[in-house]
Amino acid sequence: MFATRSRRFRRLALAFGAASALAASHLAAQRTQKPPLHGRNWVAVTGKPLAATAGAMIFQQGGNAIDAACGMLAAVATMWDVLSWGGETQALIYHPGLKKVIGINALGVAPTGATAEFYRSRGMNTPPEFGPLAAVTPGTPGGLMTMLAEYGTMSLAQVLAPAIQMADGYPIDAQTANSIENNKARIKQWKYARAVMLPHLGEAREAPAAGEVFAQHDLAATLRKLVEAEQQARRQGRSRKEAIYAAYDRFYKGDIAEELVRGVREEGGLFTRDDLASWKVKIEEPLTTNYRGVDVFKLQQWTQGPALLQALNILENADLKAMGYNSTRYIHTIYQAMSLAFADRDFYYGDPAFAPDEPMKGLLSKEYAKSRYAQMRWDRNDPTVKPGDPYPFQGGTNPFHDLLDKWSVTGAPAELPKSGQQDSVGSDAGAPLSFEESFYSGTTSIQAADTSGWVISVTPSGGWIPAVIAGRTGVGLSQRAQSFVTHPGDGPFNVVAPGKRPRVTLTPSLALKDGQPFMAFSVQGGDSQDQNLLQFFLNTVEFGMTPQEAVEAANINSYQMRSSFGAHESRPGRILLSESIPDSTRAELRRMGYSLEFDRLTSGPITAIWLDRTHRTFWGAASNYGEDYGIAW
């Protein structure tokens, strides 16, 4: 996921010409750099070509969209597509039988002993970016098995088969191989990671080369243990669902858990057997808002997803289409709306399982959005945007007025060294990530849909290179604890505590129209995710772009929110624009106080599926940079 990630933010821009405002008919006529996917039966889209093939294999064997998504998830985790098996998985699922959207919360928690005082005693404002003290408990295995057991149709053995083949050895892609090589200084600090990731230790290139067969024997053995547990349960007469949960128990309560905890603690981590045994996947109600007749769903406030809903509520007060796509006024309006929504994210979002309750009713109310819209400056950027006060909009009183008054837009307190300059593996293990590298830290994304009505959007992550591998399990550990804070002044709802989930950037998306699935979409890219997804959604709804046009369309990106990684810094007024933005727009934005930077690619690697109700077909889309890939039939 991190520093060497070539897909970290390989920005995009189509040549939109000199005009800053383009008609929808012109947009529709543009050629895309990747062809759109058209399917009649199913679509599978994810971050790696081989993983998309794994999804297609599952579909061809008769699986539904959930089975295929689980197969893709297992494949990308095995391929280290900026995640591993010890990371986290979050998903939104449209259930055609219940006719509702269901949320999957498979984010790990801070282990025993991971208190604010513990990290601050080590001179850290937040948990470190790397190493065993950056880890939360593994969530992806539980998330995959829960989704498969509850909503799939196939066995765990069938769904894991492609991943097991890959773990036995697959030709590694250049992106992953080079990421290993570039991060080998850190990898060498960890005994089991070194043994797996650096097969040519002592040579000039110690990582595998692109195209070399990369084997992970310990991981293959772990995955086979899950299949063994399932098959043993079936022989005992247990149902498909019960057998999958038997495998779940072996990972979190059995011999796999025992070795995982032993390996973590050997490296200096904090996990206990009870941390794993007591952790559970949560099946929960997502949050939603309606934007001009489209119901948009995001996971709860343990993710940044509701910030997109808040931004839509704010923007509903404006006539975006009349402003013109990527005109000065449009860019300014999008930027200001995101600044307001993300300021609320930084202050109010956190794990809803811990007191106090986040004020989500107020934050998502249309009246609160109107009040925030009224606060927007139209003449120039406002670099001092603060969180609002949603409590009056839900009939309450803000218990954190004192913290709100002291809120600093630019981030963490200075009395301790920045966490981004510290990790638990020593000073010789590589420099801390730059602000940009941390800000755009990515993940992967998975979309799947089928003719039986199942639609799923997944944004898994965690356990990216460089990762600690937990003993002989082959499981790379998450680094998600760094998204916590240790000072209430930096977000009173997101202070680290044992058993608590950090507020994460990961943010799958589903949209319904007239009660029927309309679109599934997600993106990789850290704090840029809901920025890019917001604009993708507006591209389709306001400007009539097809999904492939929308994933390739030039976006803006703001840095005026606290990064969820590293030192949790902010860069108010800084904006990333496509190189295609004309000089007149650039000059106007500079006069409005923006600090401009440019790149050819600015959309984020978005994957999406649109359901064409008129023709009863699917449109799939994968971004035109990076390795995102889709297959449809």
DSSP H helices in 104-183: 116-121, 140-151, 156-168, 174-182
Tokens read off for 303: 């993710």
Distance CA(34)–CA(31), nearest Å, equals 9
DSSP annotation of 485 reads B
pLDDT tens-digit map of 567-596: 899 999 999 999 999 999 999 999 999 999
Tokens read off for 180: 């290993």
Distance CA(305)–CA(538), nearest Å, equals 16
The average pLDDT across 198-227 equals 98
- Please report which confidence band the pLDDT of residue 626 belongs to, taking 50, 70 and 90 as the band edges: confident
Distance CA(149)–CA(247), nearest Å, equals 11
Sheet bearing 100-106, strands edge to edge: 282-284, 100-106, 89-95, 455-458, 446-450, 42-46, 629-632
Distance CA(561)–CA(190), nearest Å, equals 33
The pLDDT value given to residue 30: 55
The pLDDT value given to residue 282: 98
The average pLDDT across 63-69 equals 98
> 541 or 417: whose pLDDT is higher?
541
Q: Which H or E element spans position 338?
A: helix 328-348
Tokens read off for 12: 């995009």
Distance CA(482)–CA(75), nearest Å, equals 26
Distance CA(606)–CA(66), nearest Å, equals 20
**What does 458-475 look like in DSSP terms, one character per residue?**
E--BBSPSS--B-GGG-P
The pLDDT value given to residue 81: 85
Task: Report whether 480 contacts 474 (CB < 8 A).
Answer: no
Q: Tokens 């008769």 — which residue?
A: 62
- Please report which confidence band the pLDDT of residue 403 belongs to, taking 50, 70 and 90 as the band edges: very high
What are the φ/ψ torsions at residue 227 (nearest 5 degrees)?
-65, -40
The pLDDT value given to residue 326: 97
Angle (deg, nearest 10), helices 156-168 and 217-235: 160
DSSP annotation of 574 reads E
Task: Calculate the average pLDDT of the chain.
Answer: 92
Report in angstroms the alpha-carbon separations of 408 from 384, 386, 558.
Answer: 8, 8, 17
- Maximum alpha-carbon separation in the chain: 73
First to last CA, the chain: 30
Distance CA(276)–CA(288), nearest Å, equals 31
- Please report which confidence band the pLDDT of residue 17 belongs to, taking 50, 70 and 90 as the band edges: very low
3-class SS letters over 257-295: HHHHHHHHHHCCCCCCHHHHHHCCCEEECCEEEEECCEE
Q: What does DSSP say about strands 294-298 and 509-513: parallel, antiparallel, or unpaired? A: antiparallel
Length reported for the chain: 633
3-state DSSP call for residue 86?
A: strand
What are the φ/ψ torsions at residue 39 (nearest 5 degrees)?
-135, 150
Q: Strands (DSSP E) along 24-159, which ranges?
A: 37-39, 42-46, 89-95, 100-106
3-state DSSP call for residue 590?
A: helix
Task: Report whether 360 contacts 287 (CB < 8 A).
Answer: yes
Within 10 Å of residue 316's Cβ, how many Cβ atoms? Answer: 17
Angle (deg, nearest 10), helices 140-151 and 240-253: 170
The pLDDT value given to residue 414: 42
Distance CA(619)–CA(54), nearest Å, equals 19
3-state DSSP call for residue 569?
A: strand
Tokens read off for 258: 């025992």
The average pLDDT across 541-555 equals 96
pLDDT tens-digit map of 331-367: 999 999 999 999 999 999 999 999 999 999 999 999 9
Distance CA(26)–CA(38), nearest Å, equals 22
The pLDDT value given to residue 277: 98
What is the Cα Rg of the chain in Å? 23
Task: Report whether 572 contacts 351 (CB < 8 A).
Answer: no
Distance CA(339)–CA(341), nearest Å, equals 6
Task: Report whether 136 contacts 88 (CB < 8 A).
Answer: yes
Query: Residue 603: which of 326, 205, 271, 209 has the closest Cα?
Result: 326
Task: Report whether 393 contacts 372 (CB < 8 A).
Answer: no
- Please report which confidence band the pLDDT of residue 25 belongs to, taking 50, 70 and 90 as the band edges: very low
Tokens read off for 355: 């007191």
